[in-house]
Homo-oligomer: A and B are copies of this chain.
Amino acid sequence: MLIFLKIQSEVDKLSAYHPLTEQEAIEFSRSIPEFFPAGAVLTSREIGDGNLNLVFHITDAASGKGLIVKQALPYAKVVGESWPLTLDRARIESEALILQNELAPGLVPTVYKYDAELALTVMEDLSDHVIMRQGLVDGNKYPKFAEDISTFMANTLFFTSDLGMNQQDKKERVKAFINPDLCKITEDLIFDDPYTDSPNNNFEAAIADAAEALRNDDALHLEVAILRNKFLTNAQALLHGDLHTGSVFVTAQSTKVIDPEFAYYGPIGFDVGAVIANLLLNYAGQAHWIKDEAELADFRSYLLGSVREIWTKFENKFGALWDEHNADRLASSASGYKQYYINKLLQDSIGFAGCKMVRRIVGLAHVADIDRIEDAAEREKAQRLALEIGTSLIHLNRQAISIEQAIDIVLSATTKHV
């Protein structure tokens, strides 16, 4: 008993958590060895979107160098301080970033320091990049993205799964990334609310009929229940867990995946599906942002091409890792198993993509690709198109055998919603 009392008193003494001021963020970033020149005049700007974290951008005008200081808040601001969130997610984010940087070098920001007491991570400044969601809304193409994101997913997902690492070590990793609070957000907002009359839902009156249709589609509920169950139980690989285009910093030459605070062991298709869904949400909104018909057709064809390319490259890279680095004798030798496994990944990716589209239209949190469309009629059209694609992907998922089926769904829904 004595020993535990002793530990507790040490913890109390050390426990110094409080949200940093900008001045404190500057002081903290001076502690990174050999980063800023001695005596540098540092400035700080809080640039977080403020839902879950404080994000300080620390810069030294003289050297042009910068750092990001990210601190977790003990609640989710989006729903007020009443939704408490464990600060342990800062550890999860930091450990996930470090691991992802080992498995997919250069595709995530470098972590310089993690402070457990303050739930704070100091990492690479990416202010020369833009958030991909905004880049797409602005009509920019990212020719390296499909290559990079497929490498990121194939490497991080394969090498954290039972296929790519020691299976006993993997169990310890599952334990280290148990993440109940953040998983609950996904379980509620993606896999429950949109299909029932939840106070968390947030949709416009104009599409009330479509929202109601979601609540009354028995076949859809069966598919979502199956996908939800996979999210709850299928500890396949260490996911990023929130891999939408708002979690990706890009330039024409560079891709950096950020914000893995939702990381946990779950179904691989959940990450792949998130990427696909967010490209398709942008697709649904583009008729507003691009007025010229030929330009629109070109950009949409770029987006659909990206979806195809991302899946195909992911499939090929994951398959190549399977062939070269398989740590599981039977998985590696059982005839037909690789094909079976990868086809299940395709099916899951399509199903989860559908769920992620639906929730961005009727659920709590929306996306700028569609929400920022000012014209109500155009916004409604985009929302209906996204819902049509999303629900069709969900209905398809367990029957899917090719990414072309998903592409066909998008094309045929587009024709319907002209």
A contacts, CB < 8 Å to B: 3, 6-7, 10, 162, 167-169, 171-172, 174-175, 178-181, 183-184, 187, 191-192, 195-196, 218, 221-222, 224-226, 228-229, 232-236, 328-331, 333-337, 340-341
Given contacts A222-B340, A225-B334, A330-B225, contact A174 B178 (CB under 8 A): yes
On whether the beta carbons of A330 and B7 are closer than 8 Å, the reply is no
What are 8 A-B residue pairs whose CB atoms fall within 8 Å in the complex?
Answer: A162-B233, A167-B184, A167-B232, A171-B183, A172-B180, A192-B329, A221-B337, A222-B340
On whether the beta carbons of B174 and A224 are closer than 8 Å, the reply is no
- Selected contact of A10 from candidates B3, B10, B172, B234, CB within 8 Å: B3
Looking at the assembled complex, report how far the CB atom of A321 sits from the nearest CB atom of chain B, in whole angstroms: 16
Look across to chain B and name the residue whose beta carbon is closest to the beta carbon of A221: B334
On whether the beta carbons of A168 and B192 are closer than 8 Å, the reply is no
On whether the beta carbons of A218 and B187 are closer than 8 Å, the reply is no
On whether the beta carbons of A218 and B336 are closer than 8 Å, the reply is yes
Given contacts A162-B233, A175-B175, contact A191 B330 (CB under 8 A): yes
Given contacts A221-B337, A232-B167, contact A330 B195 (CB under 8 A): yes
List residues of chain B with CB within 8 A of the CB of A7.
Answer: 3, 7
On whether the beta carbons of A171 and B179 are closer than 8 Å, the reply is yes
Look across to chain B and name the residue whose beta carbon is closest to the beta carbon of A162: B232
- Selected contact of A172 from candidates B3, B167, B178, B228, CB within 8 Å: B178
On whether the beta carbons of B232 and A233 are closer than 8 Å, the reply is no
On whether the beta carbons of A168 and B180 are closer than 8 Å, the reply is yes
Looking at the assembled complex, report how far the CB atom of A173 sits from the nearest CB atom of chain B, in whole angstroms: 10
Q: How far is the CA of A162 from the CA of B233 in the complex (A)?
A: 8
Look across to chain B and name the residue whose beta carbon is closest to the beta carbon of A330: B225
On whether the beta carbons of B181 and A168 are closer than 8 Å, the reply is yes
- Selected contact of A235 from candidates B168, B218, B224, B233, CB within 8 Å: B233
Taking A167-B184, A224-B334 as given, write out 7 further A-B residue pairs in contact, using a Cβ cutoff of 8 Å, ordered by the A residue number: A3-B10, A168-B184, A191-B330, A221-B334, A225-B331, A226-B337, A233-B234
Q: How far is the CA of A234 from the CA of B341 in the complex (A)?
A: 14
On whether the beta carbons of B234 and A330 are closer than 8 Å, the reply is no
Interface centre among A221, A224, A232 (most CB of B within 10 A): A232
List residues of chain B with CB within 8 A of the CB of A183.
Answer: 167-168, 171
On whether the beta carbons of A180 and B187 are closer than 8 Å, the reply is no
Q: How far is the CA of A9 from the CA of B409 in the complex (A)?
A: 64
List residues of chain B with CB within 8 A of the CB of A235.
Answer: 233-235
List residues of chain B with CB within 8 A of the CB of A167.
Answer: 180, 183-184, 187, 232
